[in-house]
Amino acid sequence: MQLFKLVALLPFIAPLALAASSKDCAYKTKEEVHAPHGWIKHSKPSPDHKVSLRIGLPQPNFGILEQHLYEVSDPDHERYGQHLSKEEVEELVAPHQESLDSVGEWLSAFGFKEEDVTRSPAKDWVSITVPVSLAEKMLDTTYHVWKHVGSGESLVRTTNYRLPSNLHEHVDVVQPTTSFGRFQPFKSTVVPFDEEPEPLVNSLVEAESFGSDVTVDPSCNSTITISCLQQLYNAVGYVASNNTKNSIGITGYLEQFANIQDLQTFYAEQRPDAVNSTFKFFSIDGGLNNQTLSEAGVEANLDVQFAFGLSHPIPAIFYSTGGRPPFNPDQTTPTNTNEPYQAWLDFVLTQKNPPLVVSTSYGEPEQTGKVTKFWADKSTEALFSVPESYARRVCASIAQLGARGVSVIFSSGDGGVGDGNPNPATQQCITNDGRNVTRFLPTFPASCPFATSVGGTEHIDPEVAVSRFFSGGGFSDYQQFLRPAYQQAATRKFLSTLPDGLYKDLYNPAGRGFPDVSAQGDRYRIWYQNRPILIGGTSASSPAFAGLVALLNDARFKAKKGPLGFLNPLLYSKGASTFNDVTGGRNPGCGTLGFNATEGWDPVTGLGTPNFGKLKDIVTSRFAL
């Protein structure tokens, strides 16, 4: 399909008369919310407190990009594997010139010049850093410091903002304004040792049968190692190459960085051929890389050791992204950069060659507020801690990566159907619409239809849904994250097994279901601060699955094919039969027993756990271009 040509952009110089007309145009409400459950208004920020406003301009041709994405990701389509270039994707998400001009005139009216503005490569995002007093004038609003009762975290936010009426069709979203999201790591829960753990024994003991063609060391019931994952998922004996076309990436946030000394100790114990190898490091917005052992990040160590250990010697990248809550709103110098995931997306989309598979073990509940049966009544208002307008744009960025051949992997979360708190008894799953009723809390960005979400399992022969915490899963509440075509049959089959009326009004049965797949999620043996520990969470499942995807990409390169890219259309079709179905366990939360793991896809373990050997045969077969 021939892509349209991008219209040459005009210089950012707006006549003062036009600027004045934009500024003087009557303001109308663009977005208005009630503060989500758990947030209280605390105080006024300093007028000089800096806010980095990100203005999302409409992407009028995103539907064409989405069509490309599904065509190049569908194994039954003639274009399968023919991913787009960076420039082709940017062309498809670029805003109309009229939107660029209108937003430019508005910014000029407040004294901004081109050098004050940062633009995304496609010009669909405009970023400016301003004191909160000026942001209030630009958006005709009032910011406050809001505090989260449970954590004590602070955000500078408003519950509404307004724009000149002539700008509404040219601006999708402005943030940070109404977003109360708490981007958090999923619980990398350390398993306490009663005594110092014994050294690993490298020689295998008698193995138990797992499926028809895989054997697994019984010790994997109590400790998960690289060898255990290779055995469980039929990857024993596969030797990857260090093809520079291939790559795997891990994202780190909230002061998380990976310690190289711990990584080398881990390699010496579990992957001796990887000793002295390392990874490429990128710091984004001041992301840390302090190699002091006492300051190493347990989440980052887990992700790097298993993702890179499984995929060695495939080129590896670690991204450390700065910016986080809580912050001190009384300080005037720091910028309120507590949406670090978008900062990572902004950075990686500028890269000519992003990593071909990326794992992220962070997320947040979609909503903590007013949500009713809006899937049946489009006019009913819903309240989200991550506004749908913003979530949709983040998800659109993930789609851009998928169209370029990147597999984007997310943990599904550890709170079952609840709020990310592994203890169902203390979860807060309450609406704030006056009814104070229970509502399941799906996880974003795991609920993005263009991402692959990974749940957690434990044990061998058989694997079951992890039980020490609970594999996140359910159905998206966002109106625009409806059930995608690739999972229609699988999701309908699952829903048909539920008793009539079960969890009525607690979830959206028309929404995108997640997770898509699962992998072992507990008792991973890692090295942390120069000692071995056991750790668990879907934050372990995601990098493990990503490591296997990197190996699949390696197999495709060896077969003279390209990377897999967006995985889900393949996984739910030709790939579905290659997964080990998980039929035991459930994901309780919000005062309920949650959903059951059942035959076929379910919102606890997805399609099940991967059989690498079978998947490799499929993705390197003649059908796969």
Binding-site entries for Ca(2+): 581-582, 600, 602
What b/e readout covers 468-483, taking b as 16+ CB neighbours within 10 angstroms? Answer: ebbbbbbbbbbbebeb
**Contacts made by residues 490-499, CB under 8 angstroms, sequence distance 24+:** 490/572, 490/576, 490/600, 490/601, 490/607, 491/601, 493/600, 493/601, 494/598, 494/600, 494/601, 494/602, 494/603, 497/598
Structure tokens at 410: 């997310």
Candidates 102, 539, 541, 542; catalytic one: 539
Instruction: Report how far residue 242's alpha carbon sits from residue 273's, in angstroms, rounded to the nearest whole number.
Output: 13
Distances from the Cα of 464 to the Cα of 176, 191, 335, 522, 547, angstroms: 40, 19, 44, 11, 21
Residue with tokens 């663009």, as numbered in its chain: 30
Structure tokens at 254: 């909230």
- Cα separation, 540 vs 612, in Å, equals 18
State how far the Cα of 446 lies from the Cα of 235, in Å rounded to an integer: 26
Judge contact between 617 and 577, C-beta under 8 A.
Answer: no
Catalytic residue among 91, 172, 217, 299: 299
What is the token pair recorded at 289? 């890389």
**Residue 409: both structure tokens together:** 């992997």
Residue 557, token pair as written in the block: 């390169």
Bind-site residues: 581-582, 600, 602
What H or E segment, with its residue span, contains residue 20? Answer: helix 16-24
CA separation for the pair 359, 352 (Å, rounded): 19
User: Has 539 been annotated as catalytic?
Assistant: yes
Identify the active-site residue in 124, 217, 262, 303. Answer: 303
Q: Is the peptide bond before 462 cis (omega within 30 degrees of 0)?
A: yes
Report the distance separating Cα 312 and Cα 378, nearest Å: 49
Provide the pairing of β-strand 280-284 with 316-321.
parallel
Dihedral sign computed on CA atoms, order 200, 203, 208, 212: positive
- Name the CA dihedral angle for 490, 491, 494, 495, rounded to a multiple of 10 degrees: -150
CA 42 to the chain's CA centroid: 30
Q: How far is residue 520's CA from residue 528's CA, in Å, rounded to a whole number?
A: 20
262 is a catalytic site residue: no
Active-site residue, 299 included = yes
Q: Tokens 């495709």 correspond to what residue?
A: 556
464 within 8 A of 457, measured Cβ to Cβ: yes
What are the distances in angstroms from CA 180 to CA 184, 384, 385, 440? Answer: 12, 8, 5, 18
Q: Which residues are catalytic?
A: 299, 303, 539
